[in-house]
Structure 1
Amino acid sequence: MQQPNETLLGTYLRDRRMKLDPAALGFPAERRRTPGLRREEVAQRANISPTWYTWLEQGRGGAPSADVLDRISRALMLTDVEREHLFLVGLGRPPQARYHEKEGVTPRLQRVLDALDPSPALIRTATWNVLAWNRAATVMLGDYGSLPPDQRNVLRIIFLDPRARAVQYDWESVARHVIGAFRVDAARAGAATEVEPLVEELCRLSPEFRMMWRDNEIRDVKGEAIKRIRHPVLGPLAFEYSTFSVDGRTDLSMCVYNPATPADVQKIASQIGSVPSRLPSADMREP
């Protein structure tokens, strides 16, 4: 229960502190009046004044800095979600994004993609690396499975694969949209450092990418749009394009291309049988 002088921040700090095991963190396992760490032990781990930490729990001393909250977050061994909550109750805003790209997706997410056939669907990271896709995506977008994992990047394909250029009705408009959306996703995820090698490589290999990137254009990026392509086998296709966040994975987005007409559905469905289903592999994590 929140004490009279405590704030939401103080209550949350006290709750998380009391859930830590002193012995596991190298502190004496002697009998304690209350479970968890003492306030001075948290302050020691966070390298801040014990008095200042005590004031924070008691709702005194004003708002802490982001740096102090970061150090307390590490001291309390908070998860990313718990760290975000700490910032929200302490400063009224989420923390600056810290990007951690994880390998692979769970078989559960792959089953979601498979259930969307004949609508092409894929899962990509904030740096636009494609991690998973369904059979319909192979039909419409190409065989990601034939590419080495480090080459399964949407920007690489758009700017370096002539086949990706050939299927677009207005390649330049698509390319500019992709760069604008990529900039927004990478910045929002705090992945500016992680994308530097990719940007440098594409600037070297593609004069068009270099020109568009240096334009520094940030466009209004919509989560839904109509996409039209010229498929080399199926002819013209139209899709309602939508992107969705992936529950529990802030680093991922799911992109779904829903065929715009029954004829487009039939065209995609007619080719799916020739594409093998993706089997669970080393890049998929349970469950």
Structure 2
Amino acid sequence: MVSQQQEHRLQELGDFLRTRRARLTPEEVDLPRGSRRKTPGLRRAEVAQLVGVSVDWYTWLEQGRPITPSTQVLERLVQALRLDANERNHLFLLAHQQPPPALVLEPEVVSPALQHFLDQFGSRPAFVSGRRWDTLAWNDAGCAIFGDFHLRTGRERNTIWTIFTNPLSRQFIVDWEEDARLLLAQFRSSCGRHPEDPQLTELIHDLMLSSPEFRAWWPDHEVLSGQEGRKTLNHPQVGYLMFERLTFQVFDTPDLKVTVYTPLEEADTPRKLEQLLKQWYQHKDQESHIHDGKI
């Protein structure tokens, strides 16, 4: 028995397929135009031919019949109807009620608009991290607190690698073990989105070799979603700093996450942060003069 909600979803799927079929011409999919074509777009029989299914089966799909196409058939529909990434995602949600499996992982790029967004946080440290928790972008306040990210390369920009392999992180992060366990559970949860990513597999393998704590805790399979809460740091120059940490996903590219540290009044954090930012800007200005040949 098909529920009213399922019936509506299947009808939406059929309507979606019809509109995508109607916008294509036979020439665009390397089929002959033929004669006596009364309506624009492809015929159902032509789509069925491209996908490799019977005309009756495809007709039932467009009619909203309660049939469940396989992942392989849906992928062939994506190719036949020339669907883009957003349309592919929509098709799988309508047909399977879940997102499609990931395609080949694309390079992670931070847009100028997203970088501008980070820069607008002013005295709040803010970062963009990717699917493997590499820090891809940051603002000046982030460098003032956590060090110059421009000088870091490769694994040095990976949050999990730094937390578990850099001895300085244990002095810098107050309650290091609690924080490391929390981040590890969140990292494990995000890893579930890309179980076949070879670089992620390599990172986990190297962490198992390099960190006794990671090696001991990873088999626990603890998972958590979301990254928010208080964070206390012990900065080597100004002492204790207290923040609220909030992380959210970028809508268009959900593998990218924005993390913002909002300074709390406790431990005189705003004043100390301004002091560190002033020193950072002086450093940047000096570096700029050196680069311009003025020093």
- If the length of structure 1 is used for normalisation, what is the TM-score? 0.85
- The CA deviation at 1:228 is 0.4
Partner of 1:280: none
Match of 1:233 among 228, 234, 237: 237
Distance between the aligned counterparts of 1:191 and 1:134, measured in 2? 31
SS in 1 for 2:144: helix
Q: Relative contact order (C-alpha < 8 Å, sep 6+): which is higher?
A: 1
The answer on whether the counterparts of 2:126 and 2:142 sit within 8 Å (CA) in structure 1 is yes
The amino acid that maps onto 1:130 is: T
Partner of 1:265: 270
Partner of 2:182: 177
Number of aligned positions between the proteins: 271
The answer on whether the counterparts of 1:124 and 1:132 sit within 8 Å (CA) in structure 2 is yes
- The CA deviation at 1:50 is 2.8
The answer on whether the counterparts of 2:162 and 2:169 sit within 8 Å (CA) in structure 1 is yes
**Residue 12, structure 1, aligned to residue 16, structure 2:** yes
Q: Kindly, what percent of the aligned residue pairs are identical? A: 39
Higher fraction of helix: 2
- The CA deviation at 1:154 is 0.8
**CA-to-aligned-CA distance 1:85-112 (integer Å, 9 cap, x gap):** 2123223333345573433211111110
TM-aligned CA distance change 1:92 to 1:228, over 3 Å: same
Distance between the aligned counterparts of 2:71 and 2:159, measured in 1? 34
> Runs (4+) of structure 1 moved beyond 6 Å?
none
Partner of 1:255: 259
Larger Rg: 2
- The CA deviation at 1:152 is 1.7
TM-aligned CA distance change 1:239 to 1:192, over 3 Å: farther
Partner of 2:131: 126
Distance between the aligned counterparts of 1:269 and 1:25, measured in 2? 60
Match of 2:111 among 106, 118, 142: 106
Partner of 1:153: 158
Q: Unmatched 5+ residue regions in structure 1? A: 1-5, 278-287
Q: Unmatched 5+ residue regions in structure 2? A: 1-9, 286-295
- The CA deviation at 1:54 is 1.8
SS in 1 for 2:243: strand
Partner of 2:291: none
Match of 2:40 among 20, 29, 35: 35
Partner of 2:282: 274
Distance between the aligned counterparts of 1:174 and 1:231, measured in 2? 16
Distance between the aligned counterparts of 1:223 and 1:150, measured in 2? 21
The amino acid that maps onto 1:252 is: L
The amino acid that maps onto 2:20 is: R
Partner of 2:7: none
Partner of 2:54: 49
SS in 1 for 2:254: strand
SS in 2 for 1:117: coil
Partner of 1:24: 28
Match of 1:203 among 194, 208, 215: 208
**CA-to-aligned-CA distance 1:195-231 (integer Å, 9 cap, x gap):** 111101111222221112122222x444320000101
Partner of 1:284: none
- The CA deviation at 1:128 is 0.7
Match of 2:63 among 32, 52, 58: 58
Partner of 1:77: 82
CA RMSD of the aligned region, Å? 2.4
TM-aligned CA distance change 1:150 to 1:45, over 3 Å: farther
The answer on whether the counterparts of 2:68 and 2:95 sit within 8 Å (CA) in structure 1 is yes
Distance between the aligned counterparts of 2:83 and 2:284, measured in 1? 42
- The CA deviation at 1:236 is 0.2
- The CA deviation at 1:34 is 2.4
The answer on whether the counterparts of 2:186 and 2:227 sit within 8 Å (CA) in structure 1 is no
TM-aligned CA distance change 1:207 to 1:68, over 3 Å: same
TM-aligned CA distance change 1:166 to 1:247, over 3 Å: same
